[in-house]
Structure 1
């Protein structure tokens, strides 16, 4: 875990990000969302809305694409410092599912066919319906996900919507480094809890990429740096 003054850690991440996309721009090819061909490295820190008293250490994550003996593909999320496995995401025809390495404390997940959101988790493992939402004119989609708790059935209503973002606006908001004006079309996809109108997660995508550029939850900001 890398420790930086909160004032400077975002600058550090954006510099790493600029190096990454300077290399990737010469090797661009169309890819499927959340299906990287090689390991992805993510740097996470507290969101701007989190109190300064909260630990502002950066957390580095490694996401590895893997397959089991039956050929089923999944993503493994590791803490990069010690390669501790935190969870695995599986993609199946019946929907996505998450398996936690530590089963003594399993966070609640909102999961359906093409979304998987773990509210409050510090792991950047949320999945959104990217392929269908990259059209900036796409209407918002509402998901109703039932869950059981204490013998009762609850319904989580989640609205997913997309909006086109200019590279200039993304730079001003701190989602891209200042020299990223060469970016083309960018789309922000976000999920909101309709009961509370609170943000669950939002991800900034460049169409054709296999992973988001930037992700934000109420407590965490994350950037792909490799």
Structure 2
């Protein structure tokens, strides 16, 4: 058998090194969210969240971790979201070991304490119907939601209190609104152009803002 040319050895060593090189992450970003809660059974209160976002180069999944300000070492939930297919695949792991997943880009969690719902921000249609299912006790339960999108100018968003001072945006902003089958608002999110995360979220009993 013919021996490889010695001049090729450096290239072979480099390929072997890259093959066993640990996966690296890139585009890491950290930001803070402020959430104000207005529950019906107790006084209003607020909470801060530190959010860590990065994309892994090994599987190109976007990872989002939520850390309570008062407990910065333990995340309350971890979201893994695909990037190559417009974010249709979503996996959620919570500190309570409650795992959820979605294959259509929608994961609505209005009752979860952290504002970690995922909406189909790559939706082109003005309105589209999605189904979200979950399993419990060996049974599958499904809900239908409609998602609409509407463009807003920055001055309108500021007037409505959707943007905190110091948050910079360019171009129009998109408000995604999720409604249930009874046509009641479940959740809405305001996204900047080409943004990695929303700058405002609202449910029935809470409002959240991205802080500068």
TM-score, with structure 1 as normaliser? 0.68
Match of 1:46 in 2: 37
Which of the two has higher C-alpha Rg? 2
Match of 1:75 in 2: 64
TM-score, with structure 2 as normaliser? 0.72
How many Å separate the matches in 2 of 1:95 and 1:57?
A: 33
CA contact (8 A) 1:191 1:201 kept: yes
Q: Give CA-to-partner distance per residue, 1:159-198, whole Å, 9 cap, x none.
A: 111011233332232112579898631111011111x322
How many Å separate the matches in 2 of 1:36 and 1:55?
A: 39
CA contact (8 A) 1:162 1:187 kept: yes
Q: Give CA-to-partner distance per residue, 1:73-102, whole Å, 9 cap, x none.
A: 421110022213101001246710100122
Shift of 1:205: 1.2
Q: In structure 1, which of residues 168, 189, 197 is the aligned counterpart of residue 155 of structure 2? A: 168
Match of 2:110 in 1: 119
How many Å separate the matches in 2 of 1:89 and 1:208?
A: 20
Provide the secondary structure at the position in 1 that maps to 2:122: helix
My pick for the range that moved more, 161-170 or 74-83, is: 161-170
Match of 1:204 in 2: 190
How many Å separate the matches in 1 of 2:190 and 2:145?
A: 18
How many Å separate the matches in 2 of 1:66 and 1:180?
A: 20
Match of 1:96 in 2: 90
CA contact (8 A) 1:89 1:96 kept: yes
Distance 1:220 1:36, change over 3 A: farther
How many Å separate the matches in 2 of 1:207 and 1:198?
A: 27
Equivalent residues in 2 for 1:11-30 (5 A)? none
CA contact (8 A) 2:171 2:193 kept: no
Hey, which of these two has a bigger chunk of strand by percent? 2
Structure 1 runs, 4 residues or longer, greater than 6 Å off: 178-182
The alignment covers a number of residue pairs equal to: 181
Match of 2:210 in 1: 224
Provide the secondary structure at the position in 1 that maps to 2:201: strand
Match of 1:27 in 2: none
* RMSD of equivalent CA atoms: 3.1
Match of 2:50 in 1: 62
Hey, which of these two has a bigger chunk of helix by percent? 1
Task: Give structure 2 stretches of 5+ with no counterpart.
Answer: 1-25
